Amino acid sequence: MIIVNDKIQQHYSYDCVAPIGKEFDIDFKPELSPKEMLKLGVFEGKYLTDCISEFPTDWFTEAKLSFDKPDLTCNFFKVKSRLSLKIWQENGWIYPPDPRGWFQWYCRYYMGRRIPEIDQIQIKRWRSFKRHKIQIEKNCFPMNFQCRAKQRQALLQWAYNPFF
């Protein structure tokens, strides 16, 4: 059982019922692990900085983090590609078990937590994000990472490989 008491969420706990990084839903095939995402640089380095103890320490050994304030230089593509938590809340994209949003859900899912109803919602959202990968493939020459950098950063933040 993992017990959570951080800046945003207190007195929350969950059990990991699947092995870490395994037994994913058949429709969920992320191309990057949370550790890989953090190492490459996501969310301006600010995501999870107050709840590192919830996750394996090796996820953070090479993570690009910013403990003071969001820092674009922490993002792999050096561009902002996220909306504020407030906008996510206003749009109904935040679900009670994961008040930080999709990436928090993914980290916990990767750890082995399963909440079938929430998992299906988040997997559906993840699958719909693939449209951005298709747009890059259609509009950019292969390996041109300057082409649609903001979309590539967004792909990275949704566990899609942006390097193609």
Residues 28-51 pLDDT 10s: 999 999 999 999 999 999 988 999
pLDDT digit string, tens, across residues 91-134: 888 999 999 999 999 999 999 999 999 999 999 999 999 999 99
- Give the pLDDT score at 81: 83
Contact 156, 162 (CB under 8 A): yes
- Give the pLDDT score at 84: 79
- Give the pLDDT score at 83: 78
Tell me the domain boundaries of the chain.
Answer: 2-129
CA 85 to chain centre: 13
Of 48 and 161, which is predicted with more confidence? 161
93: Cα within 13 Å, side-chain hemisphere: 17
CA 115 to chain centre: 17
Contact 1, 51 (CB under 8 A): no
Contact 64, 39 (CB under 8 A): yes
Q: How confident is the model at residue 88 (pLDDT cuts 50, 70, 90)?
A: confident
Phi, psi of 91 (to 5 degrees): -90, 0
- Give the pLDDT score at 92: 85
- Give the pLDDT score at 76: 97
The structure's pTM equals: 0.94
